[in-house]
Amino acid sequence: MQGASRASLAEAHERLVAAVADASAAATIGDELFAVAALLDGEPGLRRALADPTTPVNARAGLVRGLLGGRISRATLDLAVALASLRWSAPRDLPDTAEQLAVLATSAAAEAEGHLDDLEDELFRFGRIVSGEPELRSALSNPLLTAQRKRALLEALLAGKVTPTALRLITQAAVHPRGRSLDASLEEFARLAASWRQRLIALVRVATGLTGDQRERLTAALSATYGRDVHLNVVIDPAIVGGMSVQIGDEFIDGSVGSRLAQLRRRLAA
């Protein structure tokens, strides 16, 4: 997002933080904001009307109240009205913001239940499963497979194996991809879940698993380096050979033996 939309997203985030101070309402707000995002995705004329800066704010707010009043909770309605009252660089930024707020509200619900760490881990692990199972990824990404069948498939696969919050977000990613791959949606949802606590996600590749003490020391070192809490997603990768590689956002730290061997081979072949 750029310009006006970025400022509006920041303001909408602040309003969400205030709304989910009541932890019991967070899950409901998340579900309802996903529905608002789906409505805006499916109605381009509505998106344009709500993002039109030439239309008075009261008119835009009144349109939202007329459409959604009595159908969603008061807290979610207030957030939807706020979104319509803000300025946006492009109409598409409205449903994008509604979706982001929905994921954050769902993350707030997980935090209130003491499951935010589990949510981040489960989104990551399921993303890895999907990456390694082409048939499963194909089924969940198939536009011809109905939403009901995708929900049933995920329920059968994951019910009782992941937290209800993780199942909710995984199902959302599969049923409403919004033009993204399933892998990309899961990665984005995991990033947003981490951002709820202002944490960074570090993708760590190692040849063998880390011990609890190693994880704690690596987490502490990365947190001290970046000045923020860091959540580790660890991937076992035999190509690493020894050492590890760490990716945080666009920054890549490669301390693996495999990488050094590859560099040596390239030098010998030159």
> What does pTM read for this prediction?
0.79
Query: Of residues 200 and 217, which shows the higher confidence score?
Result: 217
| The last residue of a domain, from among 112, 134, 161 | 112
Q: What pLDDT score was predicted for residue 123? A: 95
Domain count, the chain: 3
Q: What pLDDT score was predicted for residue 74? A: 95
Q: Residues 108, 130: one domain?
A: no
Q: Residues 94, 183: one domain?
A: no
Q: Is the pLDDT of residue 220 over 80?
A: yes
Share above pLDDT 90 across residues of the chain, in percent, rounded to a whole number? 63
Q: Residues 134, 232: one domain?
A: no
What is the CA 99 to chain-centroid distance, rounded?
9
* Average pLDDT value for residue range 215-229: 85
Mean pLDDT taken over the chain:
90
Q: Residues 187, 208: one domain?
A: no
| The last residue of a domain, from among 112, 133, 148 | 112
Q: Residues 251, 152: one domain?
A: no
Q: Residues 81, 30: one domain?
A: yes
How far is Cα 270 from Cα 265, in angstroms, rounded to an integer?
9
How far is Cα 167 from Cα 219, in angstroms, rounded to an integer?
27
Q: Residues 140, 208: one domain?
A: no
Q: Is the pLDDT of residue 166 over 90?
A: yes
Model confidence over 107-156: pLDDT tens digits? 999 999 999 999 999 999 999 899 889 999 999 999 999 999 999 999 99
Model confidence over 65-102: pLDDT tens digits? 999 999 999 999 999 999 999 999 999 999 999 999 99
Q: Residues 172, 241: one domain?
A: no
Q: Residues 130, 188: one domain?
A: yes
Q: Residues 145, 179: one domain?
A: yes
**For position 265, which CATH number holds?**
3.40.30
Query: Of residues 223 and 265, which shows the higher confidence score?
Result: 223
Residue 51, class by beta-carbon neighbours within 10 Å (0-12 exposed, 13-18 middle, 19+ buried)? Answer: buried
Query: For residue 159, what are the domain limits?
Result: 116-196
| The last residue of a domain, from among 96, 112, 128 | 112
* Average pLDDT value for residue range 218-234: 84
DSSP letter assigned to residue 73: -
